Amino acid sequence: MRAQVAIIGAGPSGLLLGQLLHLAGIDALILEQRSGDYVLGRIRAGLLEQGTIDLLDRAGVGARLHAQGLVHGGLELGFDGMRHRVDLHGATGKNVTIYGQTEITKDLMDARAAAGANTVYEAEDVSVHDFDGKQPVVRCRKDGIEHEIACDFIAGCDGFHGVCRQSAPQSALQTYERVYPFGWLGILSDTPPVSEELIYVNHARGFALCTMRSRTRSRYYLQCALDENIEAWPDARFWDELRLRLDEETAARLVTGPSIEKSIAPLRSFVAEPMRFGRLFLAGDAAHIVPPTGAKGLNLAASDIHYLSGGLIDYYATGKTAELDAYSEKCLRRIWQAERFSWWMTNLLHRFPENGPFGEKMQRAELEYLVGSPAARATLAENYVGLPF
């Protein structure tokens, strides 16, 4: 088999890259170790920056997003029993949009199926070879049959635990990591959201977040210990704890119901440098992870695909490699800005017992400055809606 570009991973970044390359007339084969149903069943975030929306529009998959997405022009910060609104649109002229990652994945899958483009699901033992030369090869097994795909380039969109970063020469790879000493206990429920906009809460009992997937489906999170047993958190206990962390008005408005999904997610900051090894390019979670506090994970993956698709399209149109050569540097510049913002939001809003009373006083001072200073709110807004690609 042969393809111009072999894409490893059929999550949003791999599917988006495949769609953009298809529209440019470039033959891209996508390999995914899981089934399509499994990929669609993954519960992920869904707050989109305008740059991500523009990229999905370019890929021709923005219609349902614009019809069903919830446009937010602000967010709220809660502390000391009060809420304070940050006017994102007023400060930046931009909004963010709530549209689930699962829905993006479905839109991209449907577009790829309509185009007749090739995605191989349940591809086993995927491995990448010879990417340091001019003739990379990808090997896999499908339905018990071994396959070899010759290609010009390999795009590693296979996530944090994927094979592509692990296959890069470790002597050339530098990683940076911060593992946070807590996680997020999250539930999804078919209940109306408690607020039109997201509420981020700093509370003595721990961080809380009120968000949504639609006007009838809510997503809530609580800061919890990493060793918490999810079985110890029946729905009633979760709702009771959430009310304790919300201001009285919001708590009284909260509509509860059975959870349809419940999980505990650890928080981590991670960056791998560089993001290119010969003809192998890393993108999305394969190269970086951000704590979800800043809502940057999916948006960073989209910006990677913006740069990578542009470089590949330029190469096949002109034979020039300048954009591909600049890929890692351009991506990492934006990644570190997003890492900084996500780290700052995480430190601002969560409880860090090891920081003691002094740390709590610093948090309080930072929050008071933030809500009292137009310049500080503008800085938060500029980063939250997304820095330009």
- Distance CA(293)–CA(199), nearest Å, equals 11
Q: Is residue 307 left, alpha or beta, with left meaning phi > 0 and alpha meaning psi from -120 to 50?
A: alpha
Per annotation, catalytic residue among 12, 99, 180, 200? 200
266-295 b/e (C-beta count within 10 Å ≥ 16 → b): ebebbbbbbbbbbbbbbbbbbbbbbbbbbb
* 38 assigned to active site: no
* 200 assigned to active site: yes
Non-local CB neighbours of 357 within 8 Å, separated by 6+ positions: none
**Phi and psi angles of residue 335, each rounded to the nearest 5 degrees, phi first:** -60, -45
- Distance CA(60)–CA(57), nearest Å, equals 5
Tokens found for residue 281: 């390019």
Per annotation, catalytic residue among 22, 203, 288, 296? 296
* 72 assigned to active site: yes
Task: Judge whether 193 and 246 are in contact, CB under 8 Å.
Answer: no
Output the CA–CA distances (angstroms, integers) from residue 155 to 9, 17, 132, 189, 377, in the order listed.
9, 9, 13, 36, 38
Token look-up 């709702």 returns 239
- Distance CA(211)–CA(197), nearest Å, equals 7
CA 298 distance to own-chain centroid: 3
Angle, helix 356-372 to helix 327-349, in steps of 10 degrees? 110
Per annotation, catalytic residue among 22, 72, 306, 350? 72
Question: Strand (E) positions, the chain?
Answer: 5-8, 28-31, 47-48, 70-72, 74-79, 82-87, 96-98, 119-120, 124-129, 137-142, 145-150, 153-156, 174-189, 199-201, 208-212, 218-224, 259-273, 276-277, 280-282, 288-289
* 330 assigned to active site: no
Give the Cβ contact number of residue 232 at 10 Å: 8
Per annotation, catalytic residue among 12, 136, 193, 292? 292
State the catalytic residues: 72, 200, 292, 296, 384
